[in-house]
């Protein structure tokens, strides 16, 4: 299917619960239309999709977890190799699944691809804003901030529509619904407390994923050492809202139990980390 340049910054209403339900229902040997997926979910899992059945299958496509085909104006979806990997993570590393799905949302926008979904750019910008402010941002403040970022980064687009028309408060809430399911959650259960509480986890895979994102986002060559100064550690830890000391420990563990990274001993000039080759969700074991 031929795609046009994407200008859709609004995050559609795709919940983590429905996302997991849909990916469980899809198969790698046949295609399902969104309506067929809805029927399958109700029949096998007693799960009712939201009224618009297209949102979640399309999000899976945006994250390269499914392939799709069009026949007689009917779009259908089939799970691909990456989607099968997500199913395996659900089955065997369930404590990682929401972190992995957050990571896919956070990292999947490709600035060099004009059809890459701008809603994934919005997701990254929203998460980055939350981490930089170290607080849970109000929806109106978030939408206003992202609208400003759109004007700065995509000044070739037409921007005469009212504030929030391209990225609304509802979309801001959609970002936070994916952060809310992280375990532990960086947000306080007390709704009046808007502080961020950096997470402490034990999954070293998150450190490797964050490091790979750093290399790709900054176009570093794999095998190039990176100085672990305060700014870099903060950037790396922010991918998953992690405590900075916890993140350093995850890197240390990863350097001991995998061959993906080399961690130099701390010296007068500071400690350096080297990602020797790519680390993606397909490398999670």
pLDDT tens profile 84-132: 999 999 999 999 999 999 999 999 999 999 999 999 999 999 999 999 9
Do residues 159 and 110 touch, judged by C-beta distance below 8 A? no
Inside any domain, residue 117:
no
**Residue-level pLDDT at 164:** 47
Range of the domain at 48: 16-82
Q: Is residue 45 part of a domain?
A: yes
Give the count of domains, the chain.
Answer: 2
Cβ–Cβ under 8 Å, residues 249 and 52 = no
119 inside domain: no
CA angle 55, 18, 139 (to 5 degrees): 70
Q: Is residue 94 part of a domain?
A: no
Residue 121 CB-half CA count within 13 A: 22
pLDDT value of residue 282 = 98
List b or e across 221-233, with b for residues whose CB sees 16 or more CB atoms inside 10 angstroms: eeeeebebeeebb
Query: What is the pLDDT confidence band of residue 72, given thresholds at 50, 70 and 90?
Result: confident
Has residue 111 been placed in a domain? no
Residue 1: pLDDT over 60: no
Q: What pLDDT shows up at residue 166?
A: 79
Q: How far apart are CA 93 and CA 182, in angstroms?
A: 14
**Residue 182 CA: distances (Å) to CA of 101, 109, 186:** 10, 21, 8
Q: How confident is the model at residue 157 (pLDDT cuts 50, 70, 90)?
A: confident
Mean pLDDT in residue range 277-282: 98
Task: Rounding to the nearest 10 degrees, give the CA dihedral for residues 281, 23, 12, 139.
Answer: -60
pTM: 0.95
Contacts 24+ apart (CB under 8 A), 241-246: 241/130, 241/131, 241/179, 241/182, 241/186, 241/196, 241/198, 241/199, 242/198, 242/199, 242/200, 242/201, 242/206, 243/198, 243/199, 243/200, 244/198, 246/198, 246/199, 246/200, 246/201
Domain closes at, from 82, 114, 133: 82
Decide: 260 and 276 in contact? Cβ < 8 Å: yes
State the pLDDT confidence band at 160, using cuts at 50, 70 and 90.
low
Task: Tell me what pLDDT residue 165 has.
Answer: 52
Distance (Å, rounded) from C-alpha 223 to C-alpha 233?
A: 18
Q: How far apart are CA 210 and CA 124, in angstroms?
A: 13
Cα–Cα–Cα angle for 191, 194, 195, rounded to 5 degrees = 135
249 found inside a domain: yes
Helix (H) or strand (E) holding 192: none
Q: What is the pLDDT of residue 268?
A: 66
CATH of the domain at 234: 1.10.10
Asked whether residue 133 is assigned to any structural domain, the reply reads no
Classify residue 242: in a domain, yes or no: yes
Domain with residue 51: its CATH number is 1.10.10.10
As a whole number, mean pLDDT of residues 26-38 equals: 96
Each residue's pLDDT tens digit, 6-15: 989 999 999 9
């Amino acid at each position: 299917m031929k795609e046009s340049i994407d200008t859709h910054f609004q995050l559609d209403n795709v919940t983590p619960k429905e996302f997991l339900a849909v990916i469980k229902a899809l198969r790698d040997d046949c295609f399902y239309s969104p309506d067929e997926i809805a029927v399958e979910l109700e029949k096998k899992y007693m799960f009712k999709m939201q009224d618009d059945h297209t949102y979640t299958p399309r999000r899976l496509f945006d994250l390269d977890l499914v392939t799709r085909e069009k026949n007689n104006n009917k779009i259908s979806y089939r799970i691909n190799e990456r989607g099968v990997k997500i199913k395996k993570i659900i089955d065997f590393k369930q404590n990682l699944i929401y972190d992995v799905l957050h990571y896919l949302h956070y990292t999947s926008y490709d600035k060099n691809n004009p059809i890459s979904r701008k809603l994934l750019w919005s997701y990254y910008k929203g998460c980055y804003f939350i981490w930089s402010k170290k607080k849970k941002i109000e929806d109106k403040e978030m939408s206003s901030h992202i609208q400003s970022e759109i004007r700065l980064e995509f000044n070739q687009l037409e921007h005469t529509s009212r504030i929030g028309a391209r990225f609304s408060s509802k979309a801001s809430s959609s970002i936070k619904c994916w952060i809310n399911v992280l375990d532990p959650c960086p947000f306080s259960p007390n709704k009046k407390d808007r502080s961020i509480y950096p997470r402490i986890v034990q999954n070293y895979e998150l450190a490797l994923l964050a490091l790979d994102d750093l290399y790709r986002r900054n176009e570093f060559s794999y095998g190039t050492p990176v100085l672990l100064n305060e700014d870099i550690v903060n950037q790396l830890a922010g991918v998953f809202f992690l405590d900075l000391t916890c993140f350093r420990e995850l890197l240390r563990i990863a350097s001991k139990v995998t061959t993906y990274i080399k961690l130099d001993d701390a010296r007068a000039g500071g400690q350096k980390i080297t990602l020797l080759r790519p680390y993606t969700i397909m490398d999670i074991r």
